[in-house]
Amino acid sequence: MANPVILTVDDDPVVSRAVARDIRRRYGDRYRVLRASSGPEALDALREVKLRGEQVALLLADHRMPEMTGVEFLEAAMDIFPAARRVLLTAYADTDAAIEAINVVDLDHYLLKPWHPPEEKLYPVVDGLLEAWAVTPDAASTEIRVVGHRWSAPSFKVRDFLARNLVPYRWLLADDPEGARLLDAAGATEADVPLVVTAEGKALIAPSEAELAGLAGLTVVPASDFYDLVVIGGGPAGLGSAVYGASEGLRTVLVERRATGGQAGQSSRIENYLGFPDGVSGAQLTDRARRQAVKFGAELLSAREVVGLSEAGGARLLRFGDGTEIAAHTVVLATGVSYRVLDAPGLADFTGRGVFYGSTATEAPSCVDQDVYIVGGANSAGQAAVHFSRYAARVHLLIRGADLTASMSRYLIDQLERIDRITVHPHTAVVGGAGQDHLQRLTLCDTRTGEARSVDTSWLFIFIGAEPRTDWLDGVLVRDGRGFIVTGPDLISGGRRPAGWSLSRDPYHLETSLPGVFAAGDVRAESVKRVASAVGEGAMAVSLVHRYLEAQ
């Protein structure tokens, strides 16, 4: 395996050469030292290192750089290599920015320039950071290679699963020389893709998500058959419950069918979350929450879908799709919502081949200099438009209403108006799609006049509606007409508790119609659809779990 990387970033050539020289002099025999002259150049270098499955141990970035400051670079770099140690190089006048960066990007250290002599001011700091990094597991240490076709829906599904679980992988086209060699070595053909090859040389053809999770080192089998608390769903509400449950001593397991983060984890930038004035990506926020839950002892199960819930005396039984079960004293349902399918002729044929639900980070770099169409008028659609505007020639935001004021936060509307590459199309609906092996054309309709027009594009991202994932609870819990779970006082009708309620008290605020089972976040009826409120409900659910357990 190649030596881990130390990356230095400074737009001043003299300083850049000096810091790289000093770093190579002491660490060049054990680390590969790279240097970049700007934040964007450095991010490109990190992405290349990521694709090769190599590790990054240390990032040293100058603060005052054009295009992107050192703090902005380090924040973006966290999404690529969260375990890398981060150092900001500053002048004396920038110490306030460095101190602020300690909170914004979890800065490990800041160094005042000049740092001479390095034996006194540079090396002791770097030695300590490299020692700390060496004992921290780095997700980039294992390289998985994925071979597939550009417009293959199964290939996209594999890449999306790995990306959303922050698993590093290398993407190879089946008709590229290296991809062809891997296919040949595995005894497979282009018709067999996707092919997934581990760093150890194990090859799987069209693996299931459970198989992928196992390859990536994610936990798929519970360590116990009984817990104090089972949390179903790994979005902000579920992660909040897992963190608070585990930190307060409950034997806690979180079960997620795809990847922690949910819809929030797909957001390119959340700017209205408390405590992050410069914004935070959904992946970064949820990865921190995931690591926090694990630190407190919560168990995380990936690629496991719960399909049944039942009562067994004082226990609650949860049945997985493979027929196995686990039990618990209490359950928190935090399964969130899914984007509604856009029902227009031709679109279903291109799901994963030009038509995508939600923002997919894996596809953004492929949209360079192309037109991207986004359907939806809420914050998630606006955040996606901002993200794709960094790559696409033009981003077209399609909404049915006259404007965005009724459904999108004001700060985000203002941001969209400042980006020339983004065009908002009011009173516009997608009524059809067409293409050969992938999406190539859309038919758009003016909802006022009925006039239709055709546009050429290979990219449609859909952010419409919110459908709860609760069909498996039919007949088990009280749900409203749209499938959201009814909780607390809303279960009381005409002064009477819900049918089958077995306790002498009324349901607690977040408690469902089955005692000991709580709902938090977007899946709960009449909840506020915001990340902060979901986290709050997840934490509140745990306090109610304690109250329930104390009364038993």
pTM: 0.73
Whether residues 480 and 437 share a domain: the answer is: no
In a domain, 221, yes or no: no
Whether residues 447 and 471 share a domain: the answer is: no
Q: Using 50, 70 and 90 to split pLDDT, how confident is the model at 102?
A: low
Whether residues 113 and 151 share a domain: the answer is: no
Whether residues 90 and 124 share a domain: the answer is: yes
Note the pLDDT of residue 47: 79
Contacts of 214 (CB under 8 A, 6+ apart): 220
Note the pLDDT of residue 374: 97
- Domain span at residue 11 reads 5-135
331 in Cβ contact with 519 (< 8 Å) = no
At 225, which amino acid appears?
A: D
- Both tokens of 58, joined, read 């240390």
CATH number at residue 196: 3.40.30.10
Higher pLDDT, 115 or 471: 471
Note the pLDDT of residue 151: 92
Whether residues 10 and 131 share a domain: the answer is: yes
Q: Using 50, 70 and 90 to split pLDDT, how confident is the model at 139?
A: very low
Range 296-315 burial, b when 16+ CB lie within 10 A, else e: bebbbbbbbbbeebeeeeee
Which segments within 349-400 are labelled E, that is strand? 355-357, 371-375, 394-398
Rounded average pLDDT over 109-136: 85
In a domain, 517, yes or no: yes
Q: Is 301 helix (H, G, I), strand (E, B) or coil?
A: strand
- Both tokens of 310, joined, read 């039942």
Q: How many domains does the chain divide into? A: 4
Whether residues 442 and 379 share a domain: the answer is: yes
- Both tokens of 324, joined, read 């196995």
In a domain, 92, yes or no: yes
Whether residues 367 and 303 share a domain: the answer is: no
Q: DSSP label at 485?
A: B
In a domain, 532, yes or no: yes
**Lowest model confidence (mean pLDDT) among 187-201, 488-502, 530-544:** 187-201
Contacts of 393 (CB under 8 A, 6+ apart): 369, 370, 371, 421
Domain boundary among 172, 195, 216: 216
Whether residues 244 and 331 share a domain: the answer is: yes
525 in Cβ contact with 537 (< 8 Å) = no
The Cα-based distances of 143 to 76, 169, 300, 302, 409 in angstroms read 21, 6, 22, 19, 40
Whether residues 91 and 176 share a domain: the answer is: no
**Lowest model confidence (mean pLDDT) among 87-101, 175-189, 244-258, 480-494:** 87-101
Whether residues 499 and 538 share a domain: the answer is: yes
Note the pLDDT of residue 141: 40
Q: Using 50, 70 and 90 to split pLDDT, how confident is the model at 451?
A: very high
State the chain's mean pLDDT as an integer: 90
42 in Cβ contact with 7 (< 8 Å) = yes
In a domain, 156, yes or no: yes
Higher pLDDT, 187 or 31: 31
pLDDT tens figures, 413-427: 999 999 999 999 999
d(CA 520, CA 460): 31
CATH number at residue 479: 3.50.50.60
Note the pLDDT of residue 269: 76
d(CA 118, CA 345): 66
- According to DSSP, the residues that pair with 452 across neighbouring strands are 445
In a domain, 140, yes or no: no
Whether residues 112 and 37 share a domain: the answer is: yes
Residue 127 pLDDT more than 80? Answer: yes
Cis peptide before 114 (omega within 30 of 0): yes
Note the pLDDT of residue 93: 53
At 65, which amino acid appears?
A: M
- Both tokens of 256, joined, read 């997620």
d(CA 345, CA 336): 28
d(CA 203, CA 169): 14
Domain boundary among 100, 135, 170: 135
Residue 99 pLDDT more than 70? Answer: no
- According to DSSP, the residues that pair with 197 across neighbouring strands are 145, 203
In a domain, 344, yes or no: no
Instruction: Count the Cβ atoms, other than its own, within 10 Å of residue 292.
Output: 16
At 352, which amino acid appears?
A: G
Q: Using 50, 70 and 90 to split pLDDT, how confident is the model at 249?
A: very high
pLDDT tens figures, 314-355: 999 999 999 999 999 999 999 999 889 999 999 999 999 999
282-295 and 70-80 helices, crossing angle to 10°: 60
Whether residues 156 and 94 share a domain: the answer is: no
As a whole number of Å, the end-to-end CA separation of the chain is 55
Domain boundary among 135, 166, 184: 135
CATH number at residue 119: 3.40.50.2300
471 in Cβ contact with 489 (< 8 Å) = no
39 in Cβ contact with 68 (< 8 Å) = yes
In a domain, 343, yes or no: no
